[in-house]
Amino acid sequence: MGKRARIGLFAGAMAVAVTGRGCVTTPPPVAESVVAGTSTPVAESGVTGSSTPGARSSSPLAAGDATAPDVSAPPSPNTPPGAPQNSTATATRAADDAAGVAGAVGATPGASANGASADGRATSASATTGSAASQTPDERRAALDKQLDDSLGAFDARLHKEQQKIAEERDARQATVSAATAAAMADGGTGSPTAAGASTAAGAAAASGAAATVGGSGAPTAAGAATTAGAATAAGAPAGGSGSSTAAGSPTAAGAATAGTSSAGGGGSSSGTGADGSSATAAAGAHRGKRGETRNSHAGDLKSDKGTGGTPNASGNGAPATIIPDGNDDDIVARRLRKAAELETDPELKDRLWKEYVEYKKNTQVR
Amino acid sequence: MGTAIQARVCWATLAMLMAGCVVHDTRPLPKINATQASSEIPAEELLDVAVHVFDPGVPSEIAKNEQALNKKRIYPDIRAAESRYVAIMLRGTLENSGQWGAVRVCPENVQFVDVSVSGKIIESTGAKLALTVTVKDSSGRVWLNNKQYASAADTGSYKTDAALRARDPFQNVYSEVANDMLTAREALTAQNRRDIRRVTQLEFAKDLAPQAMDGYLSTDRKGLVSVTRLPATDDPISARIDRIRERDSGVVDTVNGYYANFADEMSVSYGQWRRASFEEIEKEQRTLNQARTRTYLGAAAIAASVFVPQQCGLYDYNCRRLSTGVRTAAAIGGAASILSGLKKYSDSKTHAQALKELSESFQNEVAPQVVDVEGRALKLTGTAEEQYREWRELLHQMYLEN
């Protein structure tokens, strides 16, 4: 290469550089093409939607700065039919956004009449506009669908979060109630043996969660005795049996031990077990513990209030009891089943609900 | 003449005694339960129900007059809590009956549901609950129009904490509403029920995409909405709207969760307040009755001592002496009885005061909870509304694209 040629090349390069810098303060000649959507070099530069060399030469602004289009610019001839309306609308919004952002970030002076120099948001908006305009209707539909999907997804996430919060609040409250009930039971837990020989509630072991054994009529007899275990097990233990029954206490913080019973008949005894945290069972035991006598059933009482607690297998008929899983990891369905089982007053239906719950838990664990 | 007066005095005394000795029946009431579904209801006929938060029923004319409110036993904050609690209880009853689809408690602005229940609390104390309930379906058919339901408390529920947890003292009211709703629904044909579901779906769709979903519904002269035509099964806009509707249900479910948690949270203290309120009201009532009886009897005795004519002969001194003694004793006894009655009136005021204090204490406890739950519900529904606006716009654009 000759010397002249080298000088000429250098001069040309300087001229280009000077022209490029000039783009900073002068209205961009690229606006038209941006709006028109002829933006192929965008990906290349990664900054603007312009395909003109002038735009590319605005690289000093490339680190996030961009040029917002003149919204009033007419569409270029290569805009697909039907596109101008949408692209203009989008461009208008983009320009609004850009203007807003420009104001916020301290826009480049001079960005007034035809456009606003803004940050990356404006760039992407104008780029989107450009690309949207170049899309086919199917692509635009797909884009809208995607936008809807994203929006629904975000909303789902929010709803999910809210629902999780609700579930947590409910669980926390239930745990508090269980603990409070168990503690209350523990306070009045020195029940006296009853004539029927039914087991009584023991509260002594509540705080430590240690086991307590209380015998009906002073000692475990055929008529019935109940062993109350503290927080040793997480789930309700098998209950029932004609001679004695075992009740597993609550896994709650209080670790209270409970054994409420309502058996008034001789022979077969039964006991309330802490199947699900002892909340339901505690009540009967507490009554007995406080009064030191067998609680008579009132006309207004429901079956659930008569000492069977929340256990599905407190019938004391000797049949093996279903082990109720711990409810700590219940999902919403399991929680509902569990709650329904706890609240159900019809023993038969209650039993079925517990079975349903156990079945469901098994299935979910297998999965 | 004398005999006639005597007879009148006797009748008057008897009437007063009868009036004063009204005994309030506090036996447990017979339990009314909501009719349970005995067979499976086809999914397309299963109607969803929205129980709107009830109107607290605080009369606007005395809303700021605390004395008047106390006299009527209206405590605004408690009523505000009750308006949500009652809705939750009704929801529970409807849901447990198995006769309905999704039953949720939601704010008044939730409109697109198959059946909507709204109501007003007329009276709510521990002793009595009175409501008016209106039930409509989405096609504009009115099932129950401001029907009044009232019941005294079932004292069985107040006997133990467990009984209170197990059954609401006013469960009969909720069960009656549920049974009436069931009767109204049974009066509809299967086609009607299917139409209701479609109308709801199309109304929601129309709200989201008015242009795209125009012309599917029509309203007749009576204001009943019916389906004119159905969108194609593969209509893309309808499919998208269905997806949005799922989110709408999610919002309503979440709000319902807020209310359920709120009701759960307040249920223990509310139950105790109701029980205490019942006891105080009962005591107040009993004391008032005693006061009334004693006052009337005292007045009657004094009146008798004055007005019962002299029966003794002119020279029958023994009789006269006896008669005078009886009159004097009656007058003294009557005066003592009136004084005792006045004391009882004062005692009844003590009970009223106790009830007021109890209520104020409970109000202080429950008011922040109401604010909290309503704030959260408003926030979520507000966000959802904002979101719907965006979706509406997207659907509109999609419609234009199509």
- State how beta strands B225-227 and B217-219 pair: antiparallel
Give the mean model confidence (pLDDT) for residues B350-373: 87
| pLDDT tens column, A301-344 | 333 333 333 334 433 344 445 677 777 777 767 777 888 888 87
Residue in B154, B156, B240 closest to A148 by CB? B240
Rounded to a whole number, what is the distance in Å from the CA of B252 to chain A's nearest CA?
Answer: 10
Measure the CA–CA gap between B183 and B175, rounded to whole angstroms: 12
What pLDDT band is residue A172 in, cutting at 50, 70 and 90?
Answer: confident
- φ, ψ of residue B44 to 5 degrees: the values are -75, -10
**Chain A residues lying within 8 Å of B383, measured CB to CB:** 158
Whether A345 and B166 lie within 8 Å, measured CB to CB: yes
3-state helix, strand, coil in chain B (%, to 5): 65, 10, 25
The DSSP output letter for B55 is: B
Amino acid at B359: S
Residue in A140, A148, A159 closest to B250 by CB? A159
| pLDDT tens column, B123-146 | 999 999 999 999 999 999 999 999
Whether B250 and A140 lie within 8 Å, measured CB to CB: no
What residues does B151 pair with on adjacent strands?
B129
Reported as half-sphere exposure (CB side, CA atoms, 13 A), residue A61 has a value of 28
Residue A312, SS3 per DSSP:
coil
Chain B contact present for A287, CB below 8 A: yes
Longest dimension (CA), chain A: 122
> For testing the chain B interface, which of A302, A303, A335 should be mutated: the one with the most B CBs within 10 Å?
A302
| pLDDT tens column, A174-209 | 888 777 767 766 665 443 333 333 333 333 333 333
Average pLDDT value for chain B = 87
Measure the CA–CA gap between A53 and A358, rounded to whole angstroms: 71
Identify which of A97, A154, A139, A223 has the alpha carbon closest to the alpha carbon of residue B386. A154
> For testing the chain A interface, which of B247, B392, B399 should be mutated: the one with the most A CBs within 10 Å?
B247
The DSSP output letter for A101 is: H
**Chain A residues lying within 8 Å of B398, measured CB to CB:** 141, 144-145, 148
Average pLDDT value for chain A = 49
- By mean pLDDT, which of A3-12, A261-270, B81-90 is the weakest? A261-270
What residues does A117 pair with on adjacent strands?
A67
Structure tokens at B326: 């009886």
ipTM attached to this prediction: 0.73
Whether B257 and A163 lie within 8 Å, measured CB to CB: yes
Which residues are CB-contacts of B379 (< 8 A; sequence separation ≥ 6)? none
| pLDDT tens column, B138-170 | 999 999 999 999 999 998 888 888 888 889 999
Residue B391, SS3 per DSSP:
helix
Give the mean model confidence (pLDDT) for residues B177-183: 96
> Counting beta carbons within 10 angstroms of the beta carbon of residue B233, is it exposed (0 to 12), middle (13 to 18) or buried (19 or more)?
exposed
Which residues are CB-contacts of B360 (< 8 A; sequence separation ≥ 6)? B75
Chain B contact present for A293, CB below 8 A: no
Give the per-residue pLDDT at B374. Answer: 86
Rounded to a whole number, what is the distance in Å from the CA of B391 to chain A's nearest CA?
Answer: 7
How far is Cα of residue A247 from the mean position of the Cα atoms in its chain? 34
Give the per-residue pLDDT at B209. Answer: 86
- φ, ψ of residue B114 to 5 degrees: the values are -55, -50
| pLDDT tens column, A262-273 | 333 333 333 333
| pLDDT tens column, B327-342 | 899 999 999 999 998 8
Q: How far is CA B19 from CA A227, B9, B204, B347, B380, in A?
A: 58, 15, 58, 19, 55
3-state helix, strand, coil in chain A (%, to 5): 50, 5, 45
Q: Which residues of B touch A (CB under 8 A)?
A: 28, 154-163, 166-167, 240, 243-244, 247, 250-251, 253-254, 257-258, 260-261, 264-265, 268, 380, 383-384, 387, 390-391, 394-395, 397-398, 400-402
User: Is it the case that residue B15 has pLDDT exceeding 70?
Assistant: no
Question: Which pTM was predicted?
Answer: 0.57
